[in-house]
Amino acid sequence: MALWLTSLEQSHARSRLSVLSLTQPTFSPQDWNLTWHTENPDFTQCFQNTVLVWIPCIYLWACFPVYFLYLRCHDRGYIQMSNLNKAKTALGLILWIVCWADLFYSFWERSQNIFRAPFFLISPTVLGITMLLATFLIQYERMKGVQSSGVMTIFWLISLLCATVIFRSKIILALNTGAEVDAFRYVTFCTYFILLLVQLILCCFPEQPPLFSETKPCPEFSASFLSRITFWWITGLMIQGYRRPLEAKDLWSLNKEDTSEEIVQPLNMLYSSKKQQKSSDSNGDVTEEAEALIIKPSQKNYEASLFKVLYKTFGPYFLMSFLFKAAHDLLMFAGPEILKLLINFVNDKHAPDWQGYFYTGLLFVCACLQTLILHQYFHICFVTGMRLKTAIVGVIYRKALVITNSARKTSTVGEIVNLMSVDAQRFMDLATYINMIWSAPLQVILALYLLWQNLGPSVLAGVAVMILLVPINAVMAMKTKTYQKAQMKSKDNRIKLMNEILNGIKVLKLYAWELAFREKVLEIRQKELKVLKKSAYLAAMATFTWVCAPFLVALSTFAVYVKIDKNNVLDAQKAFVSLALFNILRFPLNMLPMVISSIVEASVSLKRLRVFLSHEELDPDSIIRGPTTDARLNYVHFIFSINFTVPEGSLIAVVGQVGCGKSSLLSALLGEMDKKEGYVVVKGSVAYVPQQAWVQNATLKDNIIFGREMNESRYKRVIEACALLPDIEILPTGDRTEIGEKGVNLSGGQKQRVSLARAVYCNADVYLFDDPLSAVDAHVGKHIFEKVIGPKGILKNKTRVLVTHAVNYLPQMDTILVMSDGEISEMGSYQELLKQDGAFAEFLRTYANAEQSMENSGNVFMKQTPGLYFPRLKISIFNRQLSNSSTYSRETGKSQHQSSTAELQKPLAEKNSWKLTEADTAKTGRVKATVYWDYMKAIGLFISFLSIFLFMCNHVASLASNYWLSLWTDDPVINGTQQYTNVRLGVYGALGISQGLPGLPIVILAGGIFASRHLHLNLLHNVLRSPMSFFERTPSGNLVNRFSKEIDTIDSTIPPIIKMFMGSTFNVIGACIIILLATPIAAVIIPPLGLVYLFVQRFYVATSRQLKRLESVSRSPVYSHFNETLLGVSVIRAFEEQKRFIKQNDMKVDENQKAYYPSIVANRWLAVRLEYVGNCIVLFAALFAVIARNKLSPGLVGLSVSYSLQITAYLNWLVRMSSELETNIVAVERWVVHHSYTWPEEGKVEFRGYGLRYREDLDLVLKNINVTINGGEKIGIVGRTGAGKSSLTLGLFRINEAAEGEIIIDGINIAKIGLHDLRFRVTIIPQDPILFSGSLRMNLDPFDQHSDEDIWRSLELAHLKNFVSALPDKLNHECAEGGENLSVGQRQLVCLARALLRKSKILVLDEATAAVDLETDNLIQSTIKSQFEECTVLTIAHRLNTIMDYTRVLVLDRGEVVECGSPDNLLQEKGIFYSMAKDSGLV
């Protein structure tokens, strides 16, 4: 409606006479006087009764065919008839009746011989039919499950607007006394008007949901149309997020059409059918021979088909965005046009006032429509992007399960992970930009057309400048592409290397190779940074051209315009309308290079993806699974040529030298090898135990059951047979213990047995064992052979193929295959082979002798053939990097101790919650300012502040140049020319050129590179120096995520975001200043709007940031699961579990998208709200200009309104950028997590000749103390009162500085480091437990460094959990001053919890004398023993019984150490300690 009116009013303004071909009677000049040149405007009767009635009808009939088809295809289920629906339908019918009442009245008038104009018949007829159509649509929508309809809402709105105009006119007419009034039509029209109003109101309420709906559905579909276009429906989540940090359980389930299942299935089907078509084209009858050729159709076709398939899947939905984008682009140009009319209005002192208000209103309506349309468009784009990512991840995962091993080698794990993370991301980015390809040229052409109208041919100068800049940008884009390829390559290599390092970290640590590998990574990183640097310089050039481009265009155009002809006057209208148009031009010109590079990146990604998806797949028919007449394994022509048959239920051994093809034989039976000829037949299902056990990151039980249903008795039998019972008893929570990634908390033997148990449990028909006995101890091996594999084992009736080196089991085999160099050299039973007296017999004889001699020496390796002895060992080191070296003894040993002390007090429920790997946790709360500070420090403070300063200069210049322009346009015109054109032009040019200070972008980007070098170095350094336990706890997916996605963010996302963020900030501030200069009264409005803006922004950031964190946290499991799958792909295929794994992957991706979807919508929610703030600024800028038009010069009006028109876009960018910055700086935050400072690592404390005095003029309280305390020792410090025990702690914390000597902790003199560093690293539990008034949480963790889980854990260990859980406010319980509202014992425990939370290497216990009852004292001591087992503990003891089990005791007397040794020794020496013990009654 508004759009239509604009065009109408503009045509009025240009006084074109025939307005619309629809209106047969044209406007005559006196109609103009009625409508426009008057203080009280109105339309003619004829116009009201035709055009205004027909507009809504035309709209609905135009929409109907498209909408009807759409509804037919998209059925959301059936909605039951509700009162709301009945009301809408009834009103629709009444409206129809009212319209036709008019019609029949006209017929009646004719019969009375009153002849009216024909439209009194036509209009009611058309309107009535339209109302019937509307009523039909209301019902049809209900049947198709539409809860709230946009088409209908808009229809009622347009009808009401048109009716309002007529209504106003009818009232004016009625009040105008003396005019005759058509009473009947008045009544019908008023009824019609009221009914329309009610319909519109009813339309704002949504219907109830269709009959079947899911759990916690997304409120989007049940929201009303208004709520959906303003994104009001997410407000509930925003409020929740503002009140407390969101958690995963607060998120809604994904919409059905966004789930992996719905997206990937059709895509996969389409894609595979495309491949099938290709293959069948290439060869009519597909024979065995041709199969190899078919799998690789020509590369070019593939690209097309992948693109086509993506287009087919996502195109139709995406097409809607075209319409929105086009509408938005057209509306963009309404702004400058209305600005032109406004400036004219200010110039024309005789124009009636209402026209100014009318323009202001129009400007506001256009801006608002633009906002709504733009964000619908963005929403569609982002959702498409999200679906694309889901699709790509799903397709890659499915492909990874079927590619051959040879193909696996060409794409490393790192590359595939990058495909899933980085390349999928590129597609997501593309979805938002792709429309610019046609929209940018459209905008440019429109802008140029309007400019031509404004300034005439001199626009060509500007166009020339633009055309010159295009090739420059193109060259840059091409360069960027090559750099990007290079960077991706280095990145792939780096990730690959990091992956290897993380997988083999144990070996690296054993050999102390971290430094060497660190150098390797840094070398690759160096290459990467070099490329980054080059692309940064390019980007800087590009930025310079972009910043200057619009300005140069404006400058050249104005210069040519005023120079061509003396009489060309640059007045406000010309200058500012042109400027507004140039500003519009700036956007498409800036975007085009971005779009082009985005398309380039996406095409690189498409190519990488295509290469991966066109890898050869395993031929599912290479082995025939099924019952054959003679149940057997039959294999022909393998490696060289192999024939053998295995009868059902027999036990076969495969032996031979290392590398003779034993494992390959099993792979062939599983169909994992390329088959050249022959056939393999396997009867029934297969179970496979690989040589390197593959264990999932799940509980032990899940690993064994492996997706089969649980059968308790069978499960118990299996566990017993596989000798897992003793292991399960050791594990912290039995078979519910979570096993770390790649099984880090199991020893090699345990993993092998779990892997075996998995095979045995699944009860298959054929068992393939690839040397499972080599990883386990001899006696366990024997047990397993007897109970599982051997003739008396669980599997005695199954067909078993065992690859082994253990000769002592061979006599029990039914058949033995001896292999050498890929051929079967001999075959037969043990006796037969001995009789043959071939190579095998020879080998056995030598072996038997060796075995006896070895058995005597009791060597563990006795089950190895001598010939295979050394090579086997060597291999086991390399192949089993992580798995085999026994992590077990140290790890489980440790957890055993820890659990045993704690278990006594640990109820069962808690016992079940023991977890090994720490999930990637989301931080909560605001991103701390320190993170930004860290980033600035990483860049270097000088450079940081320099860039901020340069930015300011830049924007000051830009403001000045535009202000100068407004002064220029207000120059008086004398004899048709302006006076000082040359000066004006020169200064304008100078100010403009100084905007694009080339130093600026280079500084920022160089800074970004410094930062990313610094942060990567730190992270790498810290990860490599982390103790082994860190790697056992942290899934490698998290670390890979850090090294791929988050480094990518720091490298290439953050610097440009910072640049845009600062740019937008200064732009907004600048625009506000200009508006205030022009109309100072705006000062009343801008601050409140600013407050609204800040409120909305803060409100949003809380939710958005947490969503981003949840998304980032839920991303890690996708990678971890993917890595795991790639490692165990042969096992998964052998057990035929692909479907389950695909489903798991889909679930994980959906979990990730569940957090991503609300974050997109939250962005839109925010943008719509903020743009409304911007639109209000436009409204007020224009309004104040209209009010004060007599005082203002047109130049200032132009300046102020043209700036306000930009402010919306800037506000939008500002928020997007500030939230992007905050969400992306999370990458830095998560980096900084890993760069924790590790000193003191050991906790060794040395006092060297230490002395201390309280004041200069006092004696030494401590003198000549020489003690070395090793890391992890527990030291008691005793002595009579005043012996200087507490002074020792004062010295250790440097409360008092040393008078002489020094204290050294881990080789660092504590006097040489910062006090904070020292006191953060040493923890004390003080003598008098002091709390501060404030929440309990604040008392435990004043810096907010720890998550709630950590705090609860420390409370639990401090035995306060039950007490705190019972408090009404839990952690927020207010402590009174000094903690008076807690008992002294409880306060002491709070101090203990504080220490547990800090968990530093050195703990000082200043023991409380009488504060604590004995029970609490014991609790504290036991906690300290278990929790600070590896820490150095210094206890100042008053009760000697607490320190009797310490490693050493120091006895102080008058400030000197008099005795030092273990408690037992000191008691025997009968010195001071003895006498103190005697006093305590301990001796």
Contacts of 205 (CB under 8 A, 6+ apart): 84, 148, 224
Distances (CA, A) of 226 to 200, 563, 982: 11, 52, 54
Strand-by-strand arrangement of the 1274-1278 sheet: 1322-1325, 1402-1406, 1432-1436, 1274-1278, 1448-1453, 1456-1461
pLDDT grade for 1004, boundaries at 50, 70 and 90: low
Task: Please report the pLDDT score of residue 212 as a whole number.
Answer: 67
Residue type, 876: S
Residue 456 has what pLDDT? 87
Which pLDDT score is estimated for 1362? 84
Q: What are phi and psi of 1362, to 5 degrees?
A: -65, -40
Average the pLDDT over each of 190-199, 664-673, 908-917, 1285-1294 and give the range with the smallest value: 908-917
Query: What is the average per-residue pLDDT within 499-521?
Result: 78
Distance, CA of 829 to CA of 650 (rounded, Å) = 12
What is the C-alpha to C-alpha distance for residues 1153 and 441, in angstroms, rounded to an integer? 34
Which pLDDT does position 875 carry in this prediction? 24
Question: Which candidate, 294, 864, 1024, places its Cα nearest to that of 619?
Answer: 294
**Which of the four pLDDT bands, split at 50, 70 and 90, describes residue 894?**
very low
Give the DSSP per-residue string, 1408-1458: -SSSS-HHHHHHHHHHHHHHTTTSEEEEE-SSGGGGTTSSEEEEEETTEEE
pLDDT score at 1480:
74
pLDDT, position 1400: 80
When comparing pLDDT for 652 and 661, which is higher?
652
> Model confidence over 1302-1341: pLDDT tens digits?
888 887 888 877 766 777 778 888 777 777 767 888 788 8
Looking at mean pLDDT, say which of 752-766, 1069-1083, 1356-1370 comes out highest. 752-766
State the pLDDT at residue 905: 32
Looking at the chain, the whole-number percentage of residues with pLDDT higher than 90 is 14
Peptide bond into 1342 cis (omega under 30): no
- The 3-state secondary structure of 417-441, one letter per residue: HHHHHHHHHHHHHHHHHCCHHHHHH
Confidence check: pLDDT of 326 > 90 = yes
pLDDT (mean) for 75-91: 89
Q: What is the DSSP letter of 738?
A: B
What does the alpha-carbon distance between residue 260 and residue 390 come to, in Å, rounded to a whole number? Answer: 6
Which strand ranges, in their side-by-side order, compose the sheet holding 1300-1305? 1260-1269, 1245-1253, 1300-1305, 1308-1309
Determine the length of the chain: 1483
Quick one: pLDDT band at residue 600, thresholds 50, 70, 90?
confident
Using DSSP bridges, classify how beta strands 799-803 and 766-770 pair: parallel, antiparallel or unpaired: parallel
In the block, tokens 């059709």 appear at: 266
d(C-alpha 1194, C-alpha 1166), whole Å: 34
pLDDT for 1029 equals 65
Lowest mean pLDDT of 156-165, 525-534, 688-697, 1256-1265, name the range: 1256-1265
Lowest mean pLDDT among 42-46, 224-228, 662-666, 904-908: 904-908
| Region of poorest pLDDT, from 389-403, 737-751, 892-906, 953-967 | 892-906
Coil/strand/helix, residue 806: coil
Position 999 confidence tier, pLDDT thresholds 50, 70, 90: low
Secondary structure element (H or E) that encloses residue 858, with its range: none
Mean pLDDT of the region 790-811: 85
Distances (CA, A) of 404 to 287, 766, 1144: 20, 23, 22
The residues facing 800 across adjacent strands are: 651, 767
3-state helix, strand, coil in the chain (%, to 5): 65, 10, 25
**Cα 112 to chain centroid, rounded:** 75
Q: pTM of this prediction?
A: 0.71
- The sign of the dihedral angle between the CA atoms of 178, 179, 185, 190 is negative
> 3-state DSSP call for residue 261?
helix
C-alpha closest to that of 378 among 1167, 1289, 1178: 1167
Q: What is the full DSSP assignment across 1119-1176?
A: HHHHHHHHHTHHHHHHTT-HHHHHHHHHHHHHHHHHHHHHHHHHHHHHHHHHHHHHHH
Q: CA 48 to CA 1321: how far, in whole Å?
A: 83
pLDDT higher than 70, residue 341: yes
Residue 724, token pair as written in the block: 């897992």
SS3 (DSSP) at 647: coil
Enumerate residues 6+ apart whose C-beta is below 8 A from 568. Answer: 458, 561, 562
Judge contact between 230 and 372, C-beta under 8 A.
Answer: yes
- The DSSP code for 1309 is E
pLDDT value of residue 771 = 84
Q: How many helices (H) and strands (E) does the chain have?
A: 55, 22
Distance CA 234, CA 1165 (A): 7
Give the least confident one: 927-931, 985-989, 1065-1069, 1148-1152: 927-931
What is the band of 567 on the pLDDT scale with cuts at 50, 70, 90? confident
Tokens of 1389: 């425990």
pLDDT per residue as tens digits for the range 365-405: 999 999 999 999 999 999 999 998 899 899 999 998 888 87
Provide the edge-to-edge strand list for the sheet that holds 634-636.
623-625, 680-682, 634-636, 643-645
Q: Is the pLDDT of residue 286 over 50?
A: no
Confidence (pLDDT) at 1141: 94
Q: 1018: which 2 tokens?
A: 């730190």
pLDDT number for residue 781:
85
**What does the DSSP assignment read for 926-985?**
SPPHHHHHHHHHHH-HHHHHHHHHHHHHHHHHHHHHHHHHHHHHTSPPBTTB-S-HHHHH
pLDDT of residue 896: 31
Phi–psi pair at 1074, nearest 5 degrees: -60, -45
- Low-confidence winner among 11-15, 1064-1068, 1396-1400 (lowest mean pLDDT): 11-15
- Reference 1284, options 1162, 1457, 1115, 1480; nearest CA is 1457
Calculate the average pLDDT of the chain: 79
- Is the pLDDT at 1114 greater than 80? The verdict is yes
Confidence band (pLDDT; 50, 70, 90) for 328? very high
- Work out the pLDDT band at 1232, boundaries 50, 70, 90: low
* pLDDT, average across residues 1362-1378: 81
Residue 597 and residue 428 in contact, taking contact as beta carbons nearer than 8 Å: no
Q: Which residue has the higher pLDDT, 1219 or 199?
A: 199
What pLDDT is stored for residue 61 in this prediction?
A: 95
User: What is the model's pLDDT at position 887?
Assistant: 29
The answer to whether 679 and 634 have CB atoms below 8 angstroms apart is yes
Q: What is the pLDDT of residue 62?
A: 94
Is pLDDT of 1148 > 90?
A: yes
Residue 1061 tokens read as: 């963020």
Q: Which two tokens stand for residue 1247?
A: 């006092």
Q: What are the backbone angles phi and psi of residue 1268, rounded to the nearest 5°?
A: -115, 125
What burial class does residue 64 get, using C-beta atoms within 10 Å of its C-beta: 0-12 exposed, 13-18 middle, 19+ buried? middle
Q: Model confidence over 937-979: pLDDT tens digits?
A: 888 888 788 878 887 888 888 888 888 888 888 888 787 777 7
Return the higher-pLDDT residue of 619 and 704. 704
pLDDT of 955: 82
Alpha helices by DSSP H, listed for 652-787, are: 662-670, 700-705, 712-721, 725-730, 748-761, 778-784
The CA-atom distances, in angstroms, between 1112 and each of 927, 1123, 1236 are 15, 17, 21
Q: 272, exposed or middle or buried, with CB in 10 Å at 0-12, 13-18, 19+? A: middle
Position 919 scores a pLDDT of 55
CB 1380 within 8 A of CB 1374: no
- Per-residue buried b or exposed e for 1005-1015, using 16+ beta carbons within 10 Å of the residue's own CB: bbbbbebbbbb
Task: Give CA–CA dist 277/285, Å, rounded.
Answer: 13
231 Ramachandran zone, left/alpha/beta (phi>0; psi -120 to 50): left
Cα–Cα distance between 1190 and 1194 in angstroms, integer?
A: 10
